[in-house]
Chains A and B, each alone.
Chain A
Amino acid sequence: MPTRKLTQLALYTALSLAIFALESVIPPLAPIPGIKLGLANIITLVLLERYSPRDAFLVLLCRILLSALLFGQALSLLYSLAGGLAALLVQMCLRKRLGRRHLCLVGAFGGLFHNLGQLLAALLVTGTLGVLAYLPHLVLAGILAGLFTGLCASFLLQKLPPV
């Protein structure tokens, strides 16, 4: 990887880590595990748009591992991975098919699949079907939060200078 790109990706990783840290200081929106804005997804969307799925994957993975190390959230590493990778995968596929104008839609599906991935992880980890009771909350929250991060990403892309 050329040094210039490596540096840029490192900066994006630092940025997403900062966004993640900032969000973890905000009190949770609802007392249900998994309901949050997921602002760090803005970076994933921007990277998918400006770089490649592979780069987005690298930055996401670094962000998740670093946040687990830095903020002592190793307990939730599994949930972050399940949600983050599910979201990346679906956003990657959709971005390939949809234009930039539909970034909100891509983000909404990302949010939805993030929460579905996390719920699946929770289901496997707790081994208790009872957690499925939160499925409707998580579907709603995921779509709304994803729409929001998609909107943020489109605004950001308009302002960013070309690569």
Chain B
Amino acid sequence: MQTNDNRKLARNLSLVLAACILASLAVLLALRFAPRGDGPLQADIYRDGELIASIRLDQVTVSYTLPIEASDGGRNLIEVRPNEIGILSADCPDKLCVRQGFRHDALYPIVCLPHRLVIRLSRETDADGTDAVVR
């Protein structure tokens, strides 16, 4: 009897996992083929959840670097390029933020978890700016 219960629970849990996997794949596919928009690309830099800089990447003509100091003394060196932004170097242990490379679309943010740094990219696609302020 107990094994019967076991089996049923295991089957249901497997279904839950399968549903999670399918839903995730569906979202990833949808994001891949979603319209990207063609409005001006803007990068918002957040440190500890606070907006510290907003840069219109389409207005950048000459690349420049932007050092950011985290609240715990950690450092990230951001490079702003025309229509692109990325992290050049950092003193966090895993350097995942650097490996995330340079971004030129608004799909995913660049994240440096140890330094609580997030670079959010957005494009104003509509006149009502539905995509403009999501915090």
Question: CB within 8 Å of B: which residues of A?
Answer: 28, 31-34, 71-73, 75-76, 79, 94, 97-99, 102, 105, 108-109, 112, 122, 125-131, 133-137, 139-140, 143
**With A75-B72, A75-B93, A127-B48 known to touch, is A136 a contact of B17 (CB < 8 Å)?**
no
Residues of B within 8 A of A94 (CB): 13
Which stretch in B3-11, B33-41, B56-64, B77-85 binds the other chain?
B3-11
Which secondary structure characterizes the binding site on chain B? mixed
Residues of A within 8 A of B50 (CB): 127
A129 touches B24 (CB 8 A): no
Residues of B within 8 A of A126 (CB): 46, 48-49, 111, 113, 116-118
Among the listed B17, B99, B111, which residue makes an inter-chain contact with A28, where contact means beta carbons less than 8 Å apart? B99
Q: What are some 14 contacts across the A-B interface (CB < 8 A)?
A: A28-B94, A28-B96, A33-B96, A97-B9, A98-B9, A105-B14, A128-B46, A128-B109, A130-B109, A130-B134, A131-B109, A136-B24, A139-B20, A140-B25
The interface on chain B, measured as residues whose beta carbon lies within 8 A of the other chain's beta carbons, has a size of 41
Nearest CB in chain A: distance from B89 CB, A: 15
Minimal Cβ-Cβ distance residue in B for A111: B17
**With A76-B113, A140-B21, A143-B21 known to touch, is A130 a contact of B28 (CB < 8 Å)?**
no
B135 touches A125 (CB 8 A): no
Nearest CB in chain A: distance from B45 CB, A: 10
CA distance A136 to B20 in the complex (A): 9
Residues of B within 8 A of A133 (CB): 107-109
Residues of A within 8 A of B72 (CB): 75
CA distance A76 to B113 in the complex (A): 8
Residues of A within 8 A of B88 (CB): none
